[in-house]
Amino acid sequence: MQKIVIHRAGGYRRLQVEQAAEPVPGPGEVCIAVSHAGVNYADCVVRMGLYASARQLVGWPITPGFEVTGEVAAVGEGVDDLAPGTPVIGVTLFNGYAGHVVVPRDQVFVRPATLKAPQAAAIPVAFLTAWFALHELAHVRPGEKVLVHSAAGGVGSAAVQLAVLAGADVTAVVGAAHKCALPRQLGAQQVIDKSAQPLWVCAAEIAPDGFDVILDANGVSTLGQSYGHLAPLGRLVVYGFHSMLPRQGGRPNYLKLAWDWLRTPRFNPLRLTTENRSVLAFNLSFLGDRPERLLPAMAGILKLFEEGRLQAPPVQLYPLAEVAAAHRALESGRTTGKLVLEIPGA
């Protein structure tokens, strides 16, 4: 089989296509013949050598990829409810950019008939991240005002949908005019195009008393103002630091990283207490040992797709051999929806 291997940190040339033996499932495991793998910004950070869980849990060499779709190729001892050939979705801790991947049985889900294979590969990371932020941490309630940064991306567009389903009043923030249509289509009541509008002036007009929930993966460029635009009892949920990383070239600028780290807001617990605001943060890849907090949510998300209550994000397909182009496009900040790799030979 083919798979992508990164032997050490760096730019796009570190993404090497290599041949490898197909993995064999052990007891309680499923081997998936992968047809498509989702591409996430975290994969780019893995390639740069800056993703903490990749360093701590795997090291070099590493194959990126957290989400796949395909068919069951083989099952290990004790797995008797999935037959070979069953269309499935797999949630995996790395290794997704490969022709076959082995995952525990409880991380494999039968693909709903309402989802095509490329769409299915775009679902797990984005929707689990959005669900965890909104429901596990922020506990969003009907009628609350929610602001979602990067609302035309994978996680952002998922968050818009889930917040709308929860009965929230959603303000979507996007970075270009061509990105406005998607969050509107998904139900956002307000859309701010920060390339043409003053973001925080517009935000204050929409929510003069502040937002109840703000989802922010930008990092230093917006964190301080996001906190400042929380209502009393508001919750700021942090799940990334995209603005600290490169927009071109594929390599981190360590001087910029250091400067942005110094400028990153430090939230004083005394101030948090007196202002009745909360700052929450998480990284899904460090929750691999807590499947009970995530996997039931994945089943619920897929049920919402079956019922037609959620829409899959728009998908842009890239052949596995063009993985570098996919990373470059994602890092450019110009994409909408999700990027997905087509894996040969499944």
Q: Is the dihedral of CA 65, 98, 157, 116 positive or negative?
A: negative
CB 129 within 8 A of CB 150: no
Helix (H, G, I), strand (E, B) or coil at 15: coil
* Average pLDDT rounded to a whole number, residues 279-305: 91
Q: Do 131 and 112 share a domain, yes or no? A: no
Q: Is 200 left (phi over 0), alpha (psi -120 to 50) or beta?
A: alpha
The CATH number of residue 133's host domain is 3.40.50.720
Residue with tokens 């508001």, as numbered in its chain: 234
Write out pLDDT tens, residues 109-165.
999 999 999 999 999 999 999 999 999 999 999 999 999 999 999 999 999 999 999
* Average pLDDT rounded to a whole number, residues 199-210: 98
Write out pLDDT tens, residues 59-111.
999 999 999 999 999 999 999 999 999 999 999 999 999 999 999 999 999 99
Q: Do 139 and 281 share a domain, yes or no? A: yes
Q: Number of folded domains in the chain?
A: 2
Q: Do 110 and 132 share a domain, yes or no? A: no
Boundaries of domain holding 96: 2-123+312-342
Quick one: angle between helices 323-332 and 41-48, nearest 10?
110
Residue with tokens 């992508």, as numbered in its chain: 4
User: What is the Cβ-side half-sphere exposure of residue 103, based on CA atoms within 13 angstroms?
Assistant: 30
pLDDT at 250: 84
Phi and psi (nearest 5°) for 255? -65, -45
Q: Do 29 and 102 share a domain, yes or no? A: yes
Please provide the average confidence, as pLDDT, over all residues in the chain. 95
Q: Do 226 and 279 share a domain, yes or no? A: yes
Q: pLDDT-derived band of residue 346, with 50, 70 and 90 as boundaries?
A: low
Q: Do 115 and 133 share a domain, yes or no? A: no
C-alpha–C-alpha distance, residues 102 and 117, integer Å:
18
Q: Do 207 and 236 share a domain, yes or no? A: yes
Q: Do 135 and 242 share a domain, yes or no? A: yes
* Average pLDDT rounded to a whole number, residues 42-70: 96
CB 95 within 8 A of CB 24: no
C-alpha–C-alpha distance, residues 182 and 190, integer Å:
12
Write out pLDDT tens, residues 315-332.
999 999 999 999 999 999
Q: Spell out the residues 6+ positions from residue 234 whose beta carbon is closer than 8 angstroms to its own.
A: 210, 211, 212, 213, 214, 277, 278
Q: Spell out the residues 6+ positions from residue 242 whose beta carbon is closer than 8 angstroms to its own.
A: 41, 150, 217, 218, 219
C-alpha–C-alpha distance, residues 194 and 191, integer Å:
9
| 13-22, 154-163, 242-251: range with lowest mean pLDDT | 242-251
The CATH number of residue 34's host domain is 3.90.180.10
CB 192 within 8 A of CB 202: yes
Q: Is 187 left (phi over 0), alpha (psi -120 to 50) or beta?
A: left
Q: Do 98 and 195 share a domain, yes or no? A: no
* Average pLDDT rounded to a whole number, residues 11-32: 97
CB 211 within 8 A of CB 148: no
